[in-house]
Amino acid sequence: MTTSFCDDVLQNLSHLQGFAQRLAGNRSFADDLVQETVLRALTHADQFQPGTNLLAWLITILRNTYLNEKRREQRLKLFDAKLATTPSATYGEQEWHLHMRDVECRFGSLPPTQREALVLVGANGYSYDAAAQIAGCATGTMKSRVSRARMHLQALLERKHQLRDHNPHRRDIAHLAKIG
């Protein structure tokens, strides 16, 4: 391992951090993913082929680390009670905060392959071909994952709004005005 290789890895930290943050949805988990990715990259530097795309190699390591962690969690059947019970809060008139919280929450409930596809293509702006190469799948598969993820996310958001609008416990201002 050369100093140049270490410098090249460190130059990609901001890209890795952004990818990890969007993939994990949790800054602490994202930091752990980036740290583990850098550790694995430096440990296995001899497996990197000079002349190839270092960032793609690092993102592949990060992605595999993320998927391995999710599989481990699934095997242990951990449940994050804190996340499930986090109440929504309204900050003044800034409804977009609520909307973004809804999107983030629903995004987190997508299957990992769909989240990854949206992060690679939608958030990071990779082409379908580049995203497919990083994810280790065919371009058509990546296009399908992105399409399914967008439709799934839209359906989740619409369902949430329908439930909110049809909540029998929700008091309508017009109804209250008739009573008074």
Burial of 23 (0-12, 13-18, 19+ CB in 10 A): buried
Residue at a domain's end among 38, 63, 86:
86
- The amino acid sitting at 44 is H
CATH at residue 106:
1.10.10.10
Average pLDDT, the chain: 79
Tally of domains within the chain: 2
Both tokens assigned to 124: 């990071």
Same structural domain, 178 and 111: yes
- The amino acid sitting at 78 is L
Q: For residue 171, how far is the Cα from the chain centroid? A: 35
More confident position, 82 or 159: 159
The length of the chain is: 180
Three-class DSSP labels, 135-161: HCCCHHHHHHHHHHHHHHHHHHHHHHH
Residue at a domain's end among 28, 53, 86:
86
Same structural domain, 129 and 173: yes
- Count of CB atoms situated within 10 Å of the CB of 35: 13
Same structural domain, 36 and 106: no
Cα Rg for the chain, rounded, in angstroms?
20
**Would you say 20 and 30 are in contact if contact means Cβ atoms under 8 Å apart?**
yes
Same structural domain, 108 and 81: no
CATH at residue 23:
1.10.1740.10
d(CA 74, CA 76): 5
Same structural domain, 95 and 78: no
For residue 68, the enclosing domain spans 1-86
Range name among 14-28, 76-90, 117-131 with the lowest pLDDT average: 76-90
d(CA 169, CA 105): 23
Residue at a domain's end among 57, 86, 115:
86
Query: What contacts 71, CB < 8 A, 6 or more positions away?
Result: none
The per-residue pLDDT for range 46-94, each reduced to its tens digit, is: 999 888 999 999 999 999 999 988 888 777 654 454 445 555 555 555 6
Read off the pLDDT band of 172 (50, 70, 90).
very low
pLDDT of residue 178: 42
Backbone phi and psi for residue 75, each to the nearest 5 degrees, phi listed first: -65, -40
Whole-structure pTM value: 0.50
Same structural domain, 98 and 139: yes
Same structural domain, 176 and 101: yes
Same structural domain, 1 and 68: yes
Same structural domain, 7 and 40: yes
Same structural domain, 23 and 40: yes
